[in-house]
Amino acid sequence: MSVSQRIRRKGKVNLLGNNRNWENYRDILIVLLQKELKVRYNNKLLGYLWSIANPLAAAVVYFVAFQILMRLRVPDYQLILLTGVFPWQWFTNAVGSASNVFVGNASIIKKVNFPRNIVPLCMVTNHMIHFIMSIPVIVLFLLFYQRVPSLTWLYGIPLWLVVHFFMVYGIALGLASINLFFRDLERLMSIVLNFAFYLTPVLYPLDLIPEHVRHYMFLNPAAPLIAGWRELLLDGRVEWLFLAVSAGYAALFFAIGMVIYRRLSWKFAEVL
Amino acid sequence: MREPVISFYNVSKSYPLYGHIRGIKNFLFNFPKSLTSMRQERFEALSNISFEVYEGENFGIIGNNGAGKSTTLGLIAGVLKPNKGRVVVRRRVSPLLALGAGFHAELTGRENVELNGVLLGLTRKEIRRKMDEIIEFSELGDFVNRPVRVYSSGMLARLGFSVVAHLDPEILLIDEVLGVGDIRFQKKCLDKMMSFKDSGVTMVLVTHSVASVMNICDRAMWIDNHQVRMMGDPAEVVEAYCAASNVPINTNAVNKAAL
């Protein structure tokens, strides 16, 4: 019998004794989260400062480069930078480290049969927690420049969190799965993210984009997302068009990520 | 007749040799070649094997390197899927994490116990209840509160065995790890395994130590050239295996107390 004939008659595994309940799923997530936080920061307070320091330093660099050296004349440029850089950090950190999550946890994946999508889920949640923890910093800056957080944050922030979360999780799940088979995806992604960074309104407000190319920004999934966050954090406005487009992208990426994961997950232990 | 807890029905497993598609760049530049080689270059690890393991049994698997023993364990653990045939596992599987493979180097022993516990399917509450027992059995003392990167390989193995042994295993997979502990701890593991036997825990042991197969196992299987060569009484299987490998062994002389 030829090999290809054999492959067509797929085998089956019945694991009848493996009943995990939701409590176990929850606990896996909690323990993995604790592990990531613990590994990254041994000291809790210092760790918090580090997670803030990175985007803050980036904002300072952009401020010096664009406002002081290149004399970009945009009012409230500090706030525009901050409200763009913090959500962008979540996006780029999660997508950037996605390629490595399965490869980095090879030892567990090869030995134990557990729902592997928990690993990227945990990674994305981890970055989300960092983002949420950075919101007080944004508030501080708003207050410093005589602005106040708006009441719309109460429903705006959860809405955008959900959309952002699903978009990033979908991308991460797909990338992490594919990266097992094509290990140079990671390098490709760092190039793509670099492009995305400059094409997304992180460094500049939306109205600085020339009118005739502005609608092209909807082709970039990150653009309405970051622009929407800024509208909310800076002006307290929930921009429903951006939210709808982002939610559409989120649903799309989530579906694609799930399909890729479902189709490839049983091969993970073979390729690691 | 006892109920089989692990059944393999005509199971075949082959791996594609993924080596050539390691990168997108290489894949695209040699696209046609990559496609054909992906389909054809396969490595057969198991071909058409069938066996059953019954509840409460200690089942040993021996064979040369690369014969397919670890693949068999992977199939039982559910991390691999057969290309042909069917694998049925009717209990919760606790793989013995080979030499602390599932351990995270930066976390302490205690935290790693928790991590492995949830991965094996327990809740944190259940793990906390057993934590003291696990730590006591591992005899690590103060080391449980230090990151496992400072552990010796023997200590890792001790912690690994303690975790799996105390988390209510139903099927225990053991892949060649007990040799690292000191003699006293090996004896302790052996005693623990014997106590499993009374409580109906099924054990599948993959090892190169023919002595432990003869001492611990009720039945043994010899996998040779990706097929089941022989199955049955451990002493007979070991004898045949040793004869085939041209390693003379006197099965009567194997010390029953040694692992």
> What pLDDT is recorded for position A238?
92
Rounded CA-CA distance B157/B161 in Å is 6
Q: Is the Cβ of A1 closer than 8 Å to some Cβ of chain B?
A: no
> What pLDDT is recorded for position B258?
46
- C-beta of residue B131 within 8 angstroms of C-beta of residue B112: no
Task: Decide if B40 is inside a domain.
Answer: no
Q: How many structural domains are present in chain B?
A: 1
Task: Decide if B33 is inside a domain.
Answer: no
Task: Decide if B43 is inside a domain.
Answer: no
Confidence of residue A167 (pLDDT cuts 50, 70, 90): very high
Does the pLDDT of residue A180 top 60, yes or no? Answer: yes
Residues in B closer than 8 angstroms to A107, CB to CB, are 97, 101-103
> What pLDDT is recorded for position B112?
87
Side-chain half-sphere CA neighbours of B162 within 13 A:
26
Q: Is the Cβ of B74 closer than 8 Å to some Cβ of chain A?
A: yes
Does the pLDDT of residue A250 top 90, yes or no? Answer: yes
How do beta strands B219-224 and B58-62 pair?
parallel
> What pLDDT is recorded for position A260?
94
Does the pLDDT of residue B1 top 70, yes or no? Answer: no
Does the pLDDT of residue B257 top 50, yes or no? Answer: no
- The stretches of chain A forming alpha helices (DSSP H) are 3-8, 22-40, 44-62, 77-98, 101-104, 106-111, 118-144, 153-179, 185-199, 211-214, 222-235, 240-264, 268-271
Token pair of B49 as six digits? 């094997």
β-bridge partners, B89: A15, B6
- Cα B158–B162–B164 angle (5° rounding)? 120
> What pLDDT is recorded for position B95?
67
Question: Residue with structure tokens 């896996």?
Answer: A28
Question: What's the predicted TM-score (pTM) here?
Answer: 0.85
**Chain A nearest-CA residue for B147:** A39
Does the pLDDT of residue A189 top 70, yes or no? Answer: yes
Residue B78's H or E segment, with its range, is none
Whether residues A3 and B42 touch (CB distance < 8 A) is answered with yes
Relative orientation angle of helices A240-264 and A222-235, to the nearest 10 degrees: 140
Q: Which amino acid is at A265?
A: S
Longest dimension (CA), chain A: 77
Percent of chain B with pLDDT over 90: 4
Percent of chain A with pLDDT over 90: 51
Domain ranges of chain A: 26-271
**What ipTM goes with this model?**
0.79
Confidence of residue A199 (pLDDT cuts 50, 70, 90): very high
Longest dimension (CA), chain B: 61
Q: Residue B6: which residues within 8 A CB-CB, separation 6 or more?
A: B52, B53, B76, B87, B88, B89, B90, B171, B202, B204
Whole-number mean pLDDT of chain B? Answer: 80
- C-beta of residue A231 within 8 angstroms of C-beta of residue A237: yes
Q: Is the Cβ of B88 closer than 8 Å to some Cβ of chain A?
A: yes
Q: Is the Cβ of A24 closer than 8 Å to some Cβ of chain B?
A: yes
Domain region containing B79: 54-253
Distance from CA of A82 to the nearest CA of B (A): 33
How do beta strands B202-206 and A12-15 pair?
unpaired
Does the pLDDT of residue B88 top 70, yes or no? Answer: yes
- C-beta of residue A185 within 8 angstroms of C-beta of residue A179: yes
- C-beta of residue B249 within 8 angstroms of C-beta of residue B62: no
Q: Residue A232: which residues within 8 A CB-CB, separation 6 or more?
A: A152, A153, A156, A157, A160, A238, A239
Confidence of residue B19 (pLDDT cuts 50, 70, 90): low
Lowest mean pLDDT among A4-13, A28-37, B236-245: A4-13
Q: Which residues of A178-189 are buried (b: 16+ CB within 10 A; e: fewer)?
A: bbbbbbebbebb
Task: Decide if B20 is inside a domain.
Answer: no
Rounded CA-CA distance B140/B109 in Å is 9
Higher model confidence: residue B164 or residue A64? A64
**Chain A nearest-CA residue for B99:** A107
Higher model confidence: residue B95 or residue B60? B60
- For residue A117, give the nearest of A159, A175, A164 by alpha carbon: A175
Higher model confidence: residue A85 or residue B169? A85
Q: Residue A101: which residues within 8 A CB-CB, separation 6 or more?
A: A119, A120, A123, A172, A176
Task: Decide if B15 is inside a domain.
Answer: no
Chain A (114-173) residues lying within 8 Å, Cβ to Cβ, of chain B: 114
Helix (H, G, I), strand (E, B), or coil: what is residue B173?
A: strand
CATH number of domain containing B238 = 3.40.50.300
Does the pLDDT of residue B46 top 50, yes or no? Answer: yes
Rounded CA-CA distance A228/A239 in Å is 6
> What pLDDT is recorded for position A84?
93
